[in-house]
Chains A and B, each alone.
Chain A
Amino acid sequence: MTSAVVEMRAIEKHFGAVHALRGVDLDLLPGEVLGLVGDNAAGKSTLMKVLSGAISPDGGQILFRGAPVRFTSPAEARVRGIEMVYQDFALCNNLDIAQNIFLGRWPVRAGVLVDRRAMHRAAEAMLERLRIDVPSVTVQVRHLSGGRRQSVAIARALSFNPAVLILDEPTANLSPGATHEVLRLVADLKQHGVGVILISHRLQEVFAIGDRVAVLKQGRRVATRRVRDATEDEILELIVTGGRAAPANSDRPLDAGGGLESPVGG
């Protein structure tokens, strides 16, 4: 099982008195979609921020293609090919689509001038390849719908040619139509060999496009299942109870995680 593109081993993270991650293991295979589910305090986003270099773990190890790596910033993770799309899109509303895709990596000609034409052409080609439909790459993203904005954010992440793409609740706040569009885009990524980690509280989505699903509960990974061998009810039960097999949960009340946020449907 060392064909994994990323392996996280025994990851620990404290925030003051809060023990957010308690020795989490996770691996991702090339070209798979791994659903990462759990209730609000489970540590999903924290775990992914560790992987993307946004926060440093207190313990544990990350292996990238079998070799140990240590990220102190998102830029270092990016160099290895790990990209994260944040929940709030992280777009510049005052810029157009092409500028958002090439944010901070403006194509330059003659040494000092931004090559707008090349930027627009490359953005158009990229969106076409991803089958993202926009009226024009020169439209400011503030004028786009939520689904299109999410697609632009994903397109930007993909422009770095990542091996791993982390999506944090990519369909939260999206209409059903926009959700479908984004999921179609994510499912397509498999053909490009990109490994995707999909943080989601909508199990239907994970079952629609995921290959495996990992369940976090109070900072521990309590289960990993192949999607085709599991049922939504089974995963839902793991999210809520943490699974009977997990000894860590025997000493704490079941509602400690609190606020289970509509785990199915949306």
Chain B
Amino acid sequence: MQSYEAAIYAALLLVVVAVSIATPRFLSPDNLFEVARNFSFIAAAGVGEAIVIIGGGGGIDLSVGSVMGLGGVVATKLLGMNLGLLPVLGLGVAAGWACGATNGLLVTKAKMTPLIPTLGVLSIAHGLALVITQGYPLSSLGPASPAFIALGAGYVGPVPNPVVYMALVVLVGWAVLTHTPFGYDLYSVGGNDEASHLSGIRVTRVRLAAYMISGALAALTGILLAARLSVGDATTGQGEELNVIAAAVIGGVSLLGGQGSVLGLFAGAALIGVLLNAMVLTGVPAFWQEVVIGSTIIVAVLLDRLRIRLARD
């Protein structure tokens, strides 16, 4: 696990060096913060995704992109109804949490394969966001509008707020997974749910919590994204689940569960961010971006399989 993380950071460094040789502009502080801000949303939502995947049992959350959109839409809609910033944040996150709870209950209680309920919730969350916005972007954000927009567009010193937010989420996620009983339970459940159950770990509860965390984090991240764009739009976050899952898998989070870390996920998100930025800087048409991301996922999963095979021998 440690060695794979080291390899990912080495790969990240390699790509950064290559890109900065190809386009020296890459290393300018402005561009670096721009890159970090762009992948901050992937990394933050990715922490929840990683928690779901590490919990095992085929766990995956396909709904994160739509839930990001729903979170942003719920928040901006409520702002437009003149609610204050804190209740808006709370209710927006609650909407995501409810999506996560739905996913988690369908997976753990109804024993559905995680792909199915999370695909359903992907559609439901997007549909609800469309119902709320009626298809139009929400841009009249009421009296709390300046505070809200500052949340996503502001800076702490030279650092954009979303980057600060990502750093906090990654740090807290790392601490929870590596230092708390919940984190230990999660890796146990992901490694062997039967053994965990026999040892008194409440497998169902741990996995349910994982989906709830993923939903809530996705919504919070979506709210930040809406704040940065200063508009609530149902299409925001659409397709983002692909980047989020890619970041986790590239970062060494095994789809078989029980393996991977938040720090690895962070490196995976950074790698995607740097690759996307490099394509922009080198003038690769934007249409190719999805091709590159998709290919990177497949390579990462192949490496994951290879790693498992090597570990067995």
Residues on A facing B (Cβ under 8 Å): 74-75, 78, 86, 90-95, 99, 103-106, 108, 112-114, 142, 156
Contact = CB atoms under 8 A, between A and B. Distances in A.
B179 A99 contact: no
Interface string B53-72: 00000000000000000000
B110 interface: no
Contact of B195 (A90, A105, A106, A114): A90
B195 A99 contact: no
B198 A108 contact: no
Contacts, number: 58
A138 to B, nearest CB: 11
B190 interface: yes
Given A108-B181, A113-B179, A113-B180, A86 B187 contact: no
A105 B259 contact: no
A19 to B, nearest CB: 27
Interface of B: 179-181, 183-185, 187-188, 190-192, 194-196, 198-201, 258-259, 311
Contacts of B191: 92-95
A91 B196 CA distance: 8
A94 B180 CA distance: 17
User: Which of B179, B184, B190 is most buried by chain A, counting CB atoms within 10 A of its CB?
Assistant: B184
Contacts of A99: 184, 187-188
A97 to B, nearest CB: 13
B184 A74 contact: no
Contacts of A75: 200
A91 B200 contact: no
Given A75-B200, A95-B191, A104-B200, A114 B184 contact: yes
Contact of A112 (B180, B192, B201, B259): B180
Nearest to A112: B180
Per DSSP, chain A at the interface is loop
A75 B202 CA distance: 11
B192 A104 contact: no
Contact of B184 (A86, A106, A142): A106
A114 B179 contact: yes
A86 B192 CA distance: 13
Contacts of A113: 179-180
Contacts of B311: 142
A143 to B, nearest CB: 9
Given A103-B196, A103-B199, A92 B187 contact: yes
A95 B187 contact: yes
Nearest to B175: A113
Given A92-B258, A103-B196, A105-B199, 4 more contacts: A90-B194, A112-B180, A113-B179, A113-B180
B192 A93 contact: yes
B189 to A, nearest CB: 9
A104 B180 contact: no
Nearest to B311: A142
A93 B192 CA distance: 8
A90 B198 contact: yes
A103 B195 contact: yes
Contacts of B195: 90-92, 103
A86 B198 CA distance: 10
Contacts of A104: 185, 188, 196, 199-201
6 smallest beta-carbon distances between A and B, as pairs: A92-B191, A94-B191, A90-B195, A104-B199, A94-B258, A104-B201
Nearest to A116: B179
Contacts of B258: 92-94
User: Which of A90, A94, A113 is most buried by chain B, counting CB atoms within 10 A of its CB?
Assistant: A94
Contacts of A93: 191-192, 258
A222 B22 CA distance: 82
A149 B185 CA distance: 20
A106 B179 CA distance: 10
